[in-house]
Structure 1
Protein backbone atom coordinates (compact mmCIF):
# COMPACT_ATOMS: atom_id res chain seq x y z
CA UNK A 1 0.00 0.00 0.00
CA UNK A 2 1.39 3.42 -0.92
CA UNK A 3 2.18 5.83 1.94
CA UNK A 4 -0.39 8.35 0.64
CA UNK A 5 -3.09 5.66 0.66
CA UNK A 6 -2.08 4.64 4.16
CA UNK A 7 -2.62 8.20 5.37
CA UNK A 8 -6.00 8.38 3.64
CA UNK A 9 -7.01 5.00 5.06
CA UNK A 10 -5.78 5.97 8.53
CA UNK A 11 -7.86 9.15 8.44
CA UNK A 12 -10.91 7.14 7.37
CA UNK A 13 -10.33 4.61 10.14
CA UNK A 14 -9.80 7.15 12.91
CA UNK A 15 -13.02 7.93 14.77
CA UNK A 16 -13.83 11.61 14.75
CA UNK A 17 -15.38 13.21 17.80
CA UNK A 18 -18.10 15.60 16.75
CA UNK A 19 -19.32 16.50 20.22
CA UNK A 20 -22.71 15.02 19.42
CA UNK A 21 -24.02 12.19 21.54
CA UNK A 22 -25.61 10.30 18.66
CA UNK A 23 -23.83 7.06 17.77
CA UNK A 24 -22.04 7.27 14.46
CA UNK A 25 -20.71 4.56 12.18
CA UNK A 26 -18.48 1.98 13.75
CA UNK A 27 -14.79 2.77 13.87
CA UNK A 28 -12.83 0.42 11.65
CA UNK A 29 -9.88 -1.46 13.05
CA UNK A 30 -6.62 -1.15 11.14
CA UNK A 31 -5.68 -4.27 9.11
CA UNK A 32 -3.24 -5.96 11.53
CA UNK A 33 -5.38 -5.64 14.69
CA UNK A 34 -8.41 -6.80 12.69
CA UNK A 35 -6.45 -9.77 11.35
CA UNK A 36 -5.43 -10.73 14.90
CA UNK A 37 -9.00 -10.29 16.13
CA UNK A 38 -10.29 -12.63 13.42
CA UNK A 39 -7.78 -15.37 14.25
CA UNK A 40 -8.55 -14.97 17.97
CA UNK A 41 -12.30 -15.18 17.28
CA UNK A 42 -11.77 -18.36 15.24
CA UNK A 43 -9.69 -19.87 18.04
CA UNK A 44 -12.29 -19.02 20.67
CA UNK A 45 -15.63 -19.51 18.88
CA UNK A 46 -15.22 -22.03 16.04
CA UNK A 47 -14.93 -25.81 16.19
CA UNK A 48 -11.45 -27.09 15.29
CA UNK A 49 -12.33 -28.23 11.75
CA UNK A 50 -13.96 -24.88 10.87
CA UNK A 51 -11.16 -22.97 12.55
CA UNK A 52 -8.56 -24.49 10.23
CA UNK A 53 -10.62 -23.62 7.16
CA UNK A 54 -11.42 -20.12 8.47
CA UNK A 55 -7.83 -19.34 9.41
CA UNK A 56 -6.55 -20.39 5.99
CA UNK A 57 -9.21 -18.27 4.28
CA UNK A 58 -8.53 -15.17 6.41
CA UNK A 59 -4.78 -15.46 5.84
CA UNK A 60 -5.22 -15.86 2.09
CA UNK A 61 -7.60 -12.91 1.82
CA UNK A 62 -5.44 -10.54 3.85
CA UNK A 63 -2.37 -11.65 1.87
CA UNK A 64 -4.21 -11.07 -1.42
CA UNK A 65 -5.31 -7.58 -0.37
CA UNK A 66 -1.94 -6.48 0.96
CA UNK A 67 -1.15 -4.53 -2.22
CA UNK A 68 -4.59 -3.00 -2.86
CA UNK A 69 -4.23 0.73 -3.36
CA UNK A 70 -7.84 1.87 -3.77
CA UNK A 71 -8.97 3.29 -0.40
CA UNK A 72 -12.62 2.56 -1.18
CA UNK A 73 -11.81 -1.12 -1.69
CA UNK A 74 -9.73 -1.18 1.49
CA UNK A 75 -12.50 0.37 3.57
CA UNK A 76 -15.04 -2.07 2.11
CA UNK A 77 -12.70 -5.00 2.75
CA UNK A 78 -12.04 -3.99 6.36
CA UNK A 79 -15.71 -3.22 7.01
CA UNK A 80 -16.89 -6.63 5.83
CA UNK A 81 -14.22 -8.47 7.82
CA UNK A 82 -15.04 -6.45 10.93
CA UNK A 83 -18.75 -7.30 10.57
CA UNK A 84 -17.74 -10.95 10.16
CA UNK A 85 -15.67 -10.79 13.38
CA UNK A 86 -18.63 -9.34 15.26
CA UNK A 87 -20.88 -12.13 13.99
CA UNK A 88 -18.41 -14.85 14.94
CA UNK A 89 -17.95 -13.39 18.40
CA UNK A 90 -21.70 -13.20 18.94
CA UNK A 91 -22.65 -16.57 17.38
CA UNK A 92 -24.87 -14.63 14.93
CA UNK A 93 -23.42 -16.58 12.01
CA UNK A 94 -25.00 -19.93 12.83
CA UNK A 95 -27.70 -20.69 10.27
CA UNK A 96 -27.44 -17.26 8.64
CA UNK A 97 -27.89 -16.97 4.88
CA UNK A 98 -25.95 -14.64 2.64
CA UNK A 99 -27.59 -11.35 1.68
CA UNK A 100 -28.86 -11.60 -1.92
CA UNK A 101 -27.92 -7.97 -2.55
CA UNK A 102 -24.29 -8.71 -1.73
CA UNK A 103 -24.32 -11.86 -3.86
CA UNK A 104 -25.64 -9.87 -6.84
CA UNK A 105 -22.67 -7.49 -6.55
CA UNK A 106 -20.04 -10.26 -6.65
CA UNK A 107 -17.88 -10.72 -9.73
CA UNK A 108 -17.69 -14.07 -11.52
CA UNK A 109 -14.33 -14.72 -9.86
CA UNK A 110 -15.77 -13.98 -6.42
CA UNK A 111 -18.77 -16.24 -7.10
CA UNK A 112 -16.37 -19.02 -8.07
CA UNK A 113 -14.40 -18.45 -4.89
CA UNK A 114 -17.60 -18.54 -2.83
CA UNK A 115 -18.61 -21.78 -4.53
CA UNK A 116 -15.20 -23.34 -3.76
CA UNK A 117 -15.56 -22.26 -0.13
CA UNK A 118 -19.02 -23.82 0.04
CA UNK A 119 -17.65 -27.08 -1.41
CA UNK A 120 -14.78 -27.11 1.10
CA UNK A 121 -17.19 -26.63 3.99
CA UNK A 122 -19.49 -29.39 2.73
CA UNK A 123 -16.54 -31.73 2.14
CA UNK A 124 -15.30 -31.02 5.66
CA UNK A 125 -18.77 -31.83 7.04
CA UNK A 126 -18.91 -35.06 5.01
CA UNK A 127 -15.47 -36.14 6.24
CA UNK A 128 -16.48 -35.61 9.86
CA UNK A 129 -19.64 -37.68 9.44
CA UNK A 130 -17.68 -40.46 7.76
CA UNK A 131 -15.12 -40.53 10.58
CA UNK A 132 -17.80 -40.69 13.27
CA UNK A 133 -19.43 -43.79 11.78
CA UNK A 134 -16.16 -45.77 11.83
Structure 2
Protein backbone atom coordinates (compact mmCIF):
# COMPACT_ATOMS: atom_id res chain seq x y z
CA UNK A 1 0.00 0.00 0.00
CA UNK A 2 1.30 3.47 -0.91
CA UNK A 3 2.24 6.05 1.67
CA UNK A 4 -0.48 8.77 1.50
CA UNK A 5 2.07 11.53 2.18
CA UNK A 6 4.23 10.34 -0.72
CA UNK A 7 1.22 10.13 -3.04
CA UNK A 8 0.27 13.69 -2.07
CA UNK A 9 3.82 14.94 -2.80
CA UNK A 10 3.88 13.21 -6.18
CA UNK A 11 0.49 14.63 -7.19
CA UNK A 12 1.41 18.11 -5.99
CA UNK A 13 4.67 18.05 -7.96
CA UNK A 14 2.93 16.71 -11.06
CA UNK A 15 0.25 19.43 -10.95
CA UNK A 16 2.80 22.16 -10.24
CA UNK A 17 4.89 21.15 -13.27
CA UNK A 18 1.83 21.11 -15.55
CA UNK A 19 0.85 24.55 -14.20
CA UNK A 20 4.33 25.90 -15.00
CA UNK A 21 4.10 24.41 -18.49
CA UNK A 22 1.09 26.67 -19.13
CA UNK A 23 3.52 29.58 -19.10
CA UNK A 24 5.74 28.09 -21.82
CA UNK A 25 5.41 28.67 -25.57
CA UNK A 26 2.70 26.38 -26.93
CA UNK A 27 5.02 23.93 -28.69
CA UNK A 28 7.16 23.49 -25.56
CA UNK A 29 4.05 23.16 -23.41
CA UNK A 30 2.64 20.37 -25.57
CA UNK A 31 5.95 18.51 -25.67
CA UNK A 32 6.58 18.99 -21.95
CA UNK A 33 3.08 17.99 -20.89
CA UNK A 34 3.23 14.75 -22.85
CA UNK A 35 6.68 13.89 -21.53
CA UNK A 36 5.73 14.59 -17.91
CA UNK A 37 2.53 12.56 -18.18
CA UNK A 38 4.40 9.62 -19.70
CA UNK A 39 7.22 9.74 -17.14
CA UNK A 40 4.95 9.98 -14.10
CA UNK A 41 2.80 7.15 -15.44
CA UNK A 42 5.84 5.01 -16.24
CA UNK A 43 7.25 5.45 -12.73
CA UNK A 44 4.01 4.89 -10.85
CA UNK A 45 5.19 1.56 -9.45
CA UNK A 46 8.86 2.38 -8.98
CA UNK A 47 10.83 0.85 -6.13
CA UNK A 48 11.27 3.18 -3.13
CA UNK A 49 14.89 4.09 -3.92
CA UNK A 50 14.02 4.72 -7.56
CA UNK A 51 11.00 6.80 -6.54
CA UNK A 52 13.22 8.91 -4.31
CA UNK A 53 15.64 9.67 -7.18
CA UNK A 54 12.70 10.33 -9.49
CA UNK A 55 11.27 12.91 -7.09
CA UNK A 56 14.62 14.62 -6.57
CA UNK A 57 15.15 14.98 -10.33
CA UNK A 58 11.63 16.26 -11.00
CA UNK A 59 11.81 18.69 -8.07
CA UNK A 60 14.99 20.05 -9.63
CA UNK A 61 13.23 20.37 -12.98
CA UNK A 62 10.33 22.19 -11.33
CA UNK A 63 12.68 24.60 -9.54
CA UNK A 64 14.65 25.33 -12.71
CA UNK A 65 11.52 25.82 -14.78
CA UNK A 66 9.96 28.06 -12.14
CA UNK A 67 13.07 30.27 -12.14
CA UNK A 68 13.14 30.42 -15.94
CA UNK A 69 9.42 31.22 -16.20
CA UNK A 70 9.76 34.03 -13.65
CA UNK A 71 12.77 35.41 -15.53
CA UNK A 72 10.83 35.26 -18.80
CA UNK A 73 7.95 37.18 -17.20
CA UNK A 74 10.36 39.93 -16.11
CA UNK A 75 11.91 40.12 -19.59
CA UNK A 76 8.82 39.96 -21.79
CA UNK A 77 10.49 41.61 -24.76
CA UNK A 78 13.62 39.47 -24.83
CA UNK A 79 14.18 36.08 -26.43
CA UNK A 80 13.67 33.64 -23.56
CA UNK A 81 15.63 30.45 -23.03
CA UNK A 82 14.05 27.43 -21.34
CA UNK A 83 15.89 24.30 -20.30
CA UNK A 84 19.53 23.72 -19.60
CA UNK A 85 22.57 21.69 -20.44
CA UNK A 86 22.92 18.15 -19.14
CA UNK A 87 26.34 17.59 -17.58
CA UNK A 88 28.23 14.67 -19.11
CA UNK A 89 28.81 13.12 -15.68
CA UNK A 90 25.04 12.94 -15.16
CA UNK A 91 24.52 11.49 -18.63
CA UNK A 92 27.04 8.74 -17.80
CA UNK A 93 24.70 7.51 -15.03
CA UNK A 94 21.78 6.95 -17.42
CA UNK A 95 20.84 3.45 -18.48
CA UNK A 96 20.22 2.55 -22.15
CA UNK A 97 16.47 3.20 -21.94
CA UNK A 98 17.02 6.63 -20.42
CA UNK A 99 19.55 7.57 -23.09
CA UNK A 100 17.07 6.43 -25.74
CA UNK A 101 14.28 8.50 -24.20
CA UNK A 102 16.54 11.52 -23.97
CA UNK A 103 17.54 11.13 -27.62
CA UNK A 104 13.89 10.89 -28.71
CA UNK A 105 13.04 13.96 -26.66
CA UNK A 106 15.94 15.89 -28.22
CA UNK A 107 14.82 14.88 -31.71
CA UNK A 108 11.25 16.02 -31.06
CA UNK A 109 12.33 19.28 -29.41
CA UNK A 110 14.62 20.24 -32.28
CA UNK A 111 12.31 19.37 -35.18
CA UNK A 112 11.81 22.32 -37.51
CA UNK A 113 8.24 21.20 -38.26
CA UNK A 114 6.18 19.73 -35.46
CA UNK A 115 4.07 16.63 -36.08
CA UNK A 116 0.98 18.49 -34.97
CA UNK A 117 -0.44 21.98 -35.30
CA UNK A 118 -0.84 23.68 -31.93
CA UNK A 119 -3.28 26.51 -31.51
CA UNK A 120 -3.89 28.62 -28.46
CA UNK A 121 -7.39 27.70 -27.20
CA UNK A 122 -7.76 31.08 -25.49
CA UNK A 123 -8.04 32.71 -28.91
CA UNK A 124 -11.25 30.76 -29.62
CA UNK A 125 -13.16 31.67 -26.46
Structure 2 counterpart of 1:78: 55
Q: 5+ unaligned residues in a row in structure 1: which ranges?
A: 14-28, 129-134
Could you tell me which residue of structure 2 aligns to residue 118 of structure 1? 106
**1:35/1:95 Cα in 2 relative to 1: closer, same or farther (>3 Å)?**
closer
TM-superposed deviation, 1:96: 2.3
SS in 2 for 1:90: helix
What's the CA shift for 1:95? 6.0
How many Å separate the matches in 1 of 2:17 and 2:83? 19
Report the TM-score when normalising by structure 2.
Answer: 0.74
In the alignment, is residue 101 of structure 1 matched against residue 58 of structure 2? no
Query: Unmatched 5+ residue regions in structure 2?
Result: 72-80, 115-125
Aligned residues: 103
Q: Could you say which residue in structure 2 is the equivalent of 1:127? A: 113
C-alpha distance in 1 between matches for 2:22 and 2:90:
27
Structure number with bigger Rg? 1
Are 1:61 and 2:39 an aligned pair? yes
